[in-house]
Homo-oligomer: A and B are copies of this chain.
């Protein structure tokens, strides 16, 4: 899922997203609640109509951003009191508020409200946080099922439990008992080393039903996506393709390249040979480098298109390889051929 935090996938039109083959995007409940507000979006016909996107939208619960962006938080059993990051307006979001906002936005896949503990986190804190998350997720489910069943969007639960195997298992089992339409693994990609991230998934997935979609939140690099699929994950959302494009960085099957770099000055090749995206079909690395160096918006637009194409094509290839039984081969070849993305890019 391309990430459309503020009712737009950054720098891209809905037409372009459709042409890329995107079928679902993510919207951020916290951001949309703060600006322009769900009542504005509802008045304009809901998020689909507001942003001109006629395919599916998944909204997160707002929990993660409340914990990562807002100021002066006070967490009670009811929910979270905070001041928003834009103008400091005092706000409260609890499970029922989050459900109501996502309902007003007109989301197709709604996420239950959870607390996302930081990394690292002591066992005691993680257990205490998980107890609250499970309570909030139960209330999310209860509120949601007060809504008419006809046309009701899907509701996903979120596994927490930090980096503790027994808490992850306990969380997954509790969620399945509550009963959701799909299950996410949360509390990953919060600063933990990659092995910890993989373990969080490995500790959660075995206790989630095979018949429901499984979603790893906020991930990841291309090899991480492949490895997560190998562990049973079906869905991802990730800001990397759009975020690093704005820094001039493009994905290729051999790893990322930063188009600011001098060797591309006279390079007539596309970002990636054989790529069918608009940027690669039309423009050279030399031109893209010039645009990035000159801080022209067209540069980040074109690299964003390429990166989204790369991610969506990667997922299409993974699906095809699963269907024809060649996934393990694809996995080994792809992961070994990919130079790991470095933060300094």
What residues of chain A have their CB less than 8 Å away from a CB belonging to chain B? 6-8, 10-15, 35-36, 40, 43-44, 50-52, 265-266, 268, 278, 282-284, 286-287, 289-291, 293-294, 296-298, 300-302
Given contacts A36-B290, A284-B44, contact A296 B10 (CB under 8 A): yes
User: A8-B298, A10-B297, A298-B11 are known contacts. Are A286 and B40 too (CB-CB below 8 A)?
Assistant: yes
Q: Across the two chains, which residue of chain B brings its CB closest to A282?
A: B52
Which B residues are in CB contact (< 8 Å) with A8?
Answer: 291, 296, 298
Report B-chain residues with C-beta under 8 Å of the C-beta of A51. Answer: 287
- Are A6 and B294 neighbours in the complex by a CB distance under 8 Å? yes
Chain B residues near A13 (CB-CB < 8 A)? 278, 298, 301-302
**CB neighbours of A301 from chain B (8 A):** 11, 13, 297, 301
Q: Is the CB of A297 within 8 A of B300?
A: yes
Do B287 and A50 touch across chains, with their CB atoms under 8 A apart? yes
Partner of A286, one of B44, B268, B289: B44
Contacts A50-B286, A52-B283 given; does A40 touch B297 at CB 8 Å:
no
Closest to A50 in B: B287
- Asked if A35 and B290 sit within 8 Å, CB to CB, the answer is yes
| Nearest B residue (CB) for A283 | B52
A15 to B283 CA separation, bound complex (whole angstroms): 12
If the complex has contacts A12-B298, A297-B11, are A266 and B6 also in contact, measured as CB distance less than 8 A? Answer: no
Q: Which residues of B contact A36 (CB under 8 A)?
A: 265, 286, 289-290, 293
Which of B12, B268, B300 lies in contact with A44, CB distance below 8 A?
Answer: B268
Query: A87 CB to closest chain B CB, in angstroms?
Result: 12
Inter-subunit contact A35/B298 (CB<8 Å): no
Docked Cα-Cα span, A7 to B292, in Å, equals 12
A sample of 6 cross-chain residue pairs with beta-carbon separation below 8 angstroms, ordered by A number, consists of: A35-B294, A40-B266, A40-B286, A44-B268, A50-B286, A52-B282
Closest B residue, CB atoms, query A12: B298
**Residues of chain B with a CB closer than 8 A to A50's CB:** 284, 286-287, 290
Give the 8 A-B residue pairs with the shortest CB-CB distance, closest first: A11-B297, A8-B298, A6-B294, A36-B290, A52-B282, A8-B296, A44-B286, A50-B287
